[in-house]
Structure 1
């Protein structure tokens, strides 16, 4: 069946209307997964931004501004699809009220061989996400999960309205992309040139889970802490982090040290506390060289997020 036939387009509209009814702003997508409607400014020469949206950002009132067209209004959704009868899927805008959706895209280089259950053949990037969860002490929540044609996974999470999550590619780990404000996720029920997107078994009744706070700190740039020039670190500052490392048991020493060092650097006391954290880790049984390497990794990670 050709992906551009009327039945596929009608199904895409039906799925898009259902998503819009649940508060997810949607746009029609072409079989290439790109916004289906061309920019009304494509003849203006240079008036289109890199993301495909015209620089007027929709102020002209015409459709064709990419994710900026996304809407939850049923009449507007129907009008967008009527203007793009070749659409075979729909995109869901991330970062928009009321859900402030965050997409965690677990990519895979080869197609999955089975499709039983929510994570039947998890991509390697899911293992990388599990490693991040272990290192940063958060749990991957049960949430809406979409299986991509290649066997990858899209995990849907919600974020707080006062934090803007940017889009990123493989910044968390290889194969893990993040869709935040200004980005979109291909909705389940969409058909593309590569195949269909569908909800993972057992997740259809889920609602997007809140993004774990520790994961949110990794994907959203934190506000720069204000450190007055005359501020001095009190001798007692950071002792809770030191005790946290001292209390580590075998199998959790490196994880606790990394977490404590990240918190220290995020609060501007990382370099001051580095030696104390090293001594605490050594006392807990970690080799000094490994302890200092872990602290250096925490310093690099938090520096990249500023």
Structure 2
């Protein structure tokens, strides 16, 4: 047993974070997969994945790490965590591509928010993990690139390598911040999924559909215009994603949505260029993802 890794697992568990073993020296779970499950022990009533088997029980942790020098994985969902993963650049990335830390700093600046002071871990490749607690009653899942390129998040369905673990490329080391602080509201607003098309009432007449779209446009524009400092860009982003589906379905012209939300964003205090940049990316994404689900009469 490697005492250092055992202590890393126990330290994480003392924080209330659910841990499970990773293979020695790497980042992959050391637990068996569904195909090789024997249906015994913890899986007697059905296969249990690493997220289900993660634990804070010191006795189970001692028993597990007595079998080998396992790295430590933290199941972020059961732990109530949302971890922002700031990746570094790879040789194959195009010249001029910003790394995760640079992109996150830009996000904070655009939201007019200071960089959050929270528990942070330096990753083996010199990136950073920013640990936040998930808001009560909210279940945020892992994302890839939703915030920006080179920024992923780990929530339900994901895990991170805990401080104290080591891989051939380096060690995971705590940097600063005594504890994980609550996820900032402006980050939560961007990470929460846009309302699904199913939330719109089913209608059979195209005229009724367009009237619903007009009501949604008015409401979203009013919501953006009334946004407070710290939430303006996030509300503009979410509104554009929500209204983009009406553009994809042919209920609203894109230029009408852009003009209305541009006016609302500027009324809230955003610059014209900030509004255009946010609207372009959010509408492009929403239209592309909703074209295949266009409603039929």
What TM-score do the two structures reach when normalised by structure 1? 0.68
Whether 1:93 aligns to 2:87 is: no
Residue aligning to 2:95: none
Number of residue pairs the alignment of both structures matches: 262
> Which one of the candidate residues 9, 26, 31 is aligned to 1:32?
26
Higher helix share: 2
Residue aligning to 2:149: 174
Whether 1:125 aligns to 2:123 is: no
190-199 or 227-236: bigger deviation: 227-236
Whether 1:227 aligns to 2:200 is: yes
TM-fit CA distance, 1:269: 8.0
Residue aligning to 2:125: 150
Residue aligning to 1:116: none
Q: How does 1:269-284 map to 2 (within 5 A)?
A: 271=252, 273-278=257-262
Residues 86 and 127 in structure 2, CA contact (< 8 A), matched pair in contact too: yes
Q: Distance in 2 between matches of 1:305 and 1:137?
A: 29
Q: Distance in 2 between matches of 1:72 and 1:177?
A: 25
Q: For structure 1, which runs of at least 5 residues remain unmatched after alignment? A: 1-5, 42-46, 111-122, 249-254
- Residues 155 and 303 from structure 1, CA distance in 2 versus in 1: closer, same or farther, beyond 3 angstroms? farther
Residues 143 and 208 in structure 1, CA contact (< 8 A), matched pair in contact too: yes
Whether 1:260 aligns to 2:236 is: yes
RMSD, aligned α-carbons: 4.2
TM-fit CA distance, 1:155: 0.4
SS in 2 for 1:177: strand
Whether 1:197 aligns to 2:169 is: no
Q: Distance in 1 between matches of 2:171 and 2:7?
A: 15
Residues 138 and 212 in structure 1, CA contact (< 8 A), matched pair in contact too: no
What TM-score do the two structures reach when normalised by structure 2? 0.70
- Residues 243 and 188 from structure 1, CA distance in 2 versus in 1: closer, same or farther, beyond 3 angstroms? closer
